[in-house]
């Protein structure tokens, strides 16, 4: 869902990022069009100017050509010969006109300003004569003083109102001027048109408003005719070309752009798809398709951060399949994989949409319940999961039976960060496994402490025994009557180099779980007996764990130690708890008989905490009962316990047992216990557990304690 969102988002951003590009392309193309347009216009006007110039030049050459050819005409000399008749002159002019393709020729006397003769087509004579007249008048007006006519060597193209003509005025001798005109014909125009590459060059009457036009002046300054042509390149042509070019270009750019865009989009989509896939793969377990550990921890952290703002709790369930290894080993990994997938599929429907089921790896799964009202929500689910796992898994027709063990931690009570909660759930899981698997267990705070100790014991206890980091302290038990030390209880301590002095409460049960209690117990026994050798008349109580007691060679080992340390067997008093007797009463009874036969004393420890069954007292051969400290504590709180203590002491005495009260801390307790007939008292009131050396000192002070007669234990 997350990746999908980001995917469309990215696609969106891709199309968004294309908008400026498209705008840029448009701007560039617009600018190009503008520049192209102005360039085209400039090009057109430059071209037009060039054409005009060329046409003007060509007319000029045309006129010059006439002038040149006239000058070269050798028969012009005939015209100057004086004394010629007008008829002769006109014949000569006619000849000249034919040769030079003139339409009109006139010989003017410069001095008199009169025509000496003229030649040409009858209908052009008048017209041209008028031209000549104007020419003459013009030259006068131009102030050619003295001479009537000041016409010099001149050639130009003029119009006579009807047609274009090249006009030449050529002085011949001192007093004669030849005026000649030759029509500029349409063929001349065509020739020029071809030569100049100016299409369709032609004359029209009137003034043209066309750009591609030249008006040719007449001699009197009026212009009634124009030369026009088709411009070689019209702006529209250029623009058309440009437009075509632009269109093709745009199409090309657009096509390329489109291709690029599609490529980019496709590759972007491909990248996004791969990214999404990679992120999915990175966040999901390939086999089951379930979220993986990363996702789970992320979700957990997120929900924990949210907890302070909510009024509900969350739960973490760690699931560990039982007997999964058997499935793998027996039916192969493929079957194992299918069991894992099937298990995931069974759990998922038990969850709400917002709950997270993840596979952490191997046969470990985890469930996050982000919102629960009470831990019952979690335990109910855990039970449902256990039930689901207990239904047989049928793979390829084979019934496979597994189970699941679940550890549950509740946030925020068991932890306010993901690491702590996971550790708590793991501790609970460990517990549940220890308690026989295929069940669930809720985390309790103290488990953590135990867990730490279990680890410490795992890692270090064996070494600690070898390195002699353990030590024994002794707590005296005094006669209730005299206050003199009758016996001591050996209590073990672990002097840890880092954690300091560790109480046996912390590590004894862990040592039992880890099978380290036997070497530990043997160490204690040996050390206590070595010390006991120093106090030959003092009984030394040694606590024996049920696990240790159940060892087959326990009695042999005790006998061995006694012998090794040369200690009288009656000096040793084993403190056993009811737990010793519960599991295998017959075996316990047998061992106790053997111990008694050895001469070892037996005390029932912690009386009043367990079953406190009188049957045990009857059946088993104890020498002593030790009333648990909790009795005294309750006695203080409720008067009732006092009666209980009283009757226990009474009962013990009646059974011929020595009765010791533990944990005596106050003078009142001492007085009471003494009054009810308790034999021995042990507690901080008399002494805390002390080292062997301190005990040596204490015994010295007491002086002849060892000489004191053993207390008579009434058998009444």
In the complex, the residues that contact ligand C2E under the rule CB under 6 A are 475, 491-492, 503-505, 508, 521, 524, 543-545, 575, 605-606, 629, 662-665, 682-684, 689
Paired tokens of 40: 């085209």
| Closest-approach residue to Ca ion (CB) | 575
The angle subtended at Cα 487 by Cα 482 and Cα 492, nearest 5°, is 135
Among Ca ion, ligand C2E, none, residue 414 binds (CB under 5-8 Å by kind): none
Read off φ and ψ for residue 498, nearest 5 degrees.
-105, -50
**Which residue number, 127 or 475, has a Cβ lying nearer to ligand C2E?**
475
Q: By CB under 5 A, which span of 353-361, 470-478, 605-613, 682-690 interacts with Ca ion?
A: 605-613
Q: Whole-angstrom Cα distance, residue 473 to residue 480?
A: 22
Residue 128 has which token pair? 């041209």
Tell me which of ligand C2E, Ca ion, none is bound by residue 504, counting a contact when its beta carbon lies within the kind-specific cut-off of 5 to 8 angstroms.
ligand C2E
Q: How many residues bind Ca ion (CB under 5 A)?
A: 5
Q: Does 606 bind Ca ion (CB under 5 A)?
A: yes
C-beta of 543: minimal distance to Ca ion in Å? 4
* Nearest-angstrom CA–CA distance, 451 and 457: 10
Residues 611-670 that bind Ca ion (CB under 5 A): 662
Asked if 543 interacts with Ca ion (CB under 5 A), we say yes
Nearest to 149 by CA among 181, 175, 167, 118: 175
Smallest separation (angstroms) from Ca ion to the CB of 610? 11
524 interacts with, out of Ca ion, ligand C2E, none, CB within 5 to 8 A per kind:
ligand C2E
In whole angstroms, the minimum distance from the beta carbon of 684 to Ca ion comes to 14
Residue 398: partners with Cβ closer than 8 Å, 6 or more residues away: 331, 335
CA dist., res. 55 & res. 198, Å (int): 9
d(CA 518, CA 532): 21
Nearer to ligand C2E, 288 or 545 (CB): 545
Between 471 and 569, CB nearer to ligand C2E? 471
Which partner, ligand C2E, Ca ion, none, binds residue 665 by CB below 5 to 8 Å per kind?
ligand C2E
Q: In the complex, what is the shortest distance from the CB of residue 667 to ligand C2E, in angstroms, rounded to a whole number?
A: 12
Among residues 366 and 516, whose Cβ is nearest to ligand C2E? 516
User: DSSP 3-state assignment of 649?
Assistant: helix
CA distance linking residue 268 with residue 281, whole number of Å: 19
Question: Encoding tokens for residue 90?
Answer: 């006109």
Residue number with CB closer to ligand C2E (150 or 541): 541
Smallest gap from Cβ 575 to Ca ion, in A, equals 4
Q: Which stretch binds Ca ion (CB under 5 A): 4-12, 39-47, 257-265, 568-576?
A: 568-576
Residue 522, binding choice from Ca ion, ligand C2E, none, Cβ under 5 to 8 Å by partner class: none
Give the angle subtended at the CA of 433 by the CAs of 430 and 439, to the nearest 5°: 115
Q: Report the residue from 451, 605, 623, 658 that binds Ca ion according to the rule CB under 5 A.
A: 605
Tell me: does residue 575 bind Ca ion (CB under 5 A): yes
SS3 state at 189:
helix
Using the minimum distance from each CB to ligand C2E, give the nearer residue, 295 or 698: 698
Minimum gap (Å) between residue 540 Cβ and Ca ion: 12
Is residue 111 within 8 Å of 175, Cβ to Cβ? yes
Distances in Å between the alpha carbon of 3 and those of 236, 247, 280?
56, 42, 8
Q: Which does 545 bind (CB under 5 to 8 A by kind): Ca ion, ligand C2E, none?
A: ligand C2E
Does 47 participate in binding Ca ion (rule CB under 5 A)?
no
Full DSSP string of 269-286:
HHHHHHHHHHHHHHHB-T
Applying CB under 5 A, which part among 33-41, 277-285, 320-328, 574-582 lies near Ca ion? 574-582
CB of 363 to ligand C2E, least distance (A): 36
Q: Which stretch binds Ca ion (CB under 5 A): 184-192, 209-217, 366-374, 543-551?
A: 543-551
d(CA 575, CA 607): 11
Segment interacting with Ca ion, rule: CB under 5 A, options 54-62, 200-208, 274-282, 603-611: 603-611
Residue number, 407 or 663, with CB nearest to ligand C2E: 663
Whichever of 122 and 505 has its CB closer to ligand C2E, that residue is 505
CB closer to ligand C2E, 292 vs 548: 548
Q: Tokens representing 677?
A: 């007939």
In degrees and rounded to multiples of 5, residue 696 shows phi and psi of -55, -50
| Smallest gap from residue 574 Cβ to Ca ion (A) | 10
- What end-to-end distance do the CA atoms of the chain give, in Å? 84
Write out the two tokens for 141: 């007006």
How far apart, in whole angstroms, are the C-alpha atoms of residue 654 and residue 715?
Answer: 6
Closest CB to ligand C2E among residues 127, 543: 543
CB 149 within 8 A of CB 155: no
Cα angle for residues 422, 423, 427 (degrees, 5° grid): 115
- The total of other beta-carbon atoms located within 10 Å of residue 209's CB is 7
Specify the residue, 512 or 605, whose C-beta has the smaller distance to Ca ion.
Answer: 605
């Amino acid at each position: 869902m997350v990746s999908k969102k980001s995917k469309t988002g990215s696609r969106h951003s891709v199309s968004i990022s294309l908008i400026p590009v498209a705008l840029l392309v448009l701007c560039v193309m617009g600018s190009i069009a503008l520049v192209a347009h102005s360039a085209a216009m400039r090009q057109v006007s430059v071209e037009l100017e060039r054409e005009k110039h060329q046409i003007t030049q060509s007319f000029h050459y045309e006129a010059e050509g006439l002038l040149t050819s006239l000058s070269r005409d050798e028969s012009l000399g005939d015209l100057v010969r004086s004394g010629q008749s007008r008829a002769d002159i006109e014949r000569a002019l006619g000849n000249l006109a034919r040769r030079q393709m003139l339409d009109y020729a006139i010989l003017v006397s410069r001095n008199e300003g009169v025509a000496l003769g003229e030649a040409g087509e009858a209908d052009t004579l008048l017209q041209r004569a008028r031209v000549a007249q104007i020419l003459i008048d013009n030259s006068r007006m131009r102030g050619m003083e003295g001479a009537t006519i000041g016409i010099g060597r001149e050639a130009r193209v003029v119009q006579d109102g009807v047609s274009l003509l090249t006009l030449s005025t050529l002085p011949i001798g001192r007093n004669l001027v030849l005026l000649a005109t030759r029509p500029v014909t349409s063929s001349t125009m065509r020739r020029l048109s071809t030569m100049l590459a100016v299409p369709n060059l032609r004359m029209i009457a009137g003034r043209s408003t066309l750009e591609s036009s030249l008006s040719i002046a007449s001699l009197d300054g009026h212009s009634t005719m124009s030369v026009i042509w088709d411009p070689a390149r019209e702006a529209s042509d250029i623009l058309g070309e440009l437009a075509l070019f632009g269109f093709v270009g745009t199409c090309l750019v657009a096509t390329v752009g489109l291709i690029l865009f599609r490529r980019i989009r496709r590759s972007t989509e491909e990248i996004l798809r791969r990214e999404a896939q990679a992120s999915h793969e990175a966040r999901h377990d390939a086999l089951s398709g379930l979220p993986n550990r990363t996702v789970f921890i992320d979700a957990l952290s997120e929900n924990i951060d949210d907890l302070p703002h909510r009024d509900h709790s969350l739960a973490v369930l760690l699931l560990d399949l039982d007997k999964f290894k058997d499935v793998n080993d027996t039916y192969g990994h493929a079957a194992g994989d299918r069991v894992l997938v099937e298990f995931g599929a069974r759990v998922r429907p038990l969850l709400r949409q917002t709950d997270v089921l993840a596979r952490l790896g191997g046969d470990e799964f985890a469930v996050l319940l982000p919102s629960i009202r009470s831990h019952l929500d979690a335990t109910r689910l855990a039970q449902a999961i256990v039930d689901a796992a207990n239904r047989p898994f049928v793979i390829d027709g084979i019934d496979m039976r597994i189970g699941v063990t679940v550890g549950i931690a509740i946030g925020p009570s068991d932890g306010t960060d993901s690491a702590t909660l996971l550790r708590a759930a793991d501790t609970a899981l460990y517990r549940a496994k220890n308690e026989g698997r295929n069940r669930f267990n809720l985390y309790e705070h103290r488990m953590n402490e135990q867990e730490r100790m279990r680890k410490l014991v795992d890692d270090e206890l064996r070494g600690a025994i070898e390195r002699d980091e353990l030590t024994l302290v002794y707590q005296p038990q005094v006669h209730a009557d005299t206050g003199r030390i009758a016996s001591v209880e050996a209590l073990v301590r672990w002097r840890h180099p880092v954690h300091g002095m560790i109480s046996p409460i912390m590590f004894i049960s862990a040592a039992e779980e880890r099978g380290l209690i036997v070497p530990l117990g043997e160490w204690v026994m040996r050390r206590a007996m070595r010390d006991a050798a120093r106090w030959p008349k003092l009984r030394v109580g040694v606590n024996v764990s049920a696990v240790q007691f159940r060892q087959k060679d326990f009695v042999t080992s005790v006998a061995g130690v006694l012998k090794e340390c040369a200690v009288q067997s009656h000096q040793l008093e084993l403190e056993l708890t009811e737990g010793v007797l519960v599991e295998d009463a017959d075996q316990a009874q047998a061992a106790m008989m053997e111990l008694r036969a050895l001469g070892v004393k037996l005390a029932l420890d912690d009386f009043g905490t367990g079953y406190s069954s009188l049957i045990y007292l009857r059946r088993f051969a104890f020498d002593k009962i030790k009333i648990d400290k909790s009795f005294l504590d309750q006695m203080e709180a409720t008067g009732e316990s006092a009666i209980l203590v009283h009757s226990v002491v009474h009962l013990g005495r009646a059974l011929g047992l020595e009765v010791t009260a533990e944990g005596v801390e106050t003078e009142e307790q001492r007085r009471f216990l003494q009054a009810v007939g308790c034999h021995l008292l042990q507690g901080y009131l008399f002494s805390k557990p002390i080292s062997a050396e301190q005990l040596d000192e204490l015994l010295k002070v007491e002086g002849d304690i060892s000489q004191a007669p053993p207390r008579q234990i009434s058998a009444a």
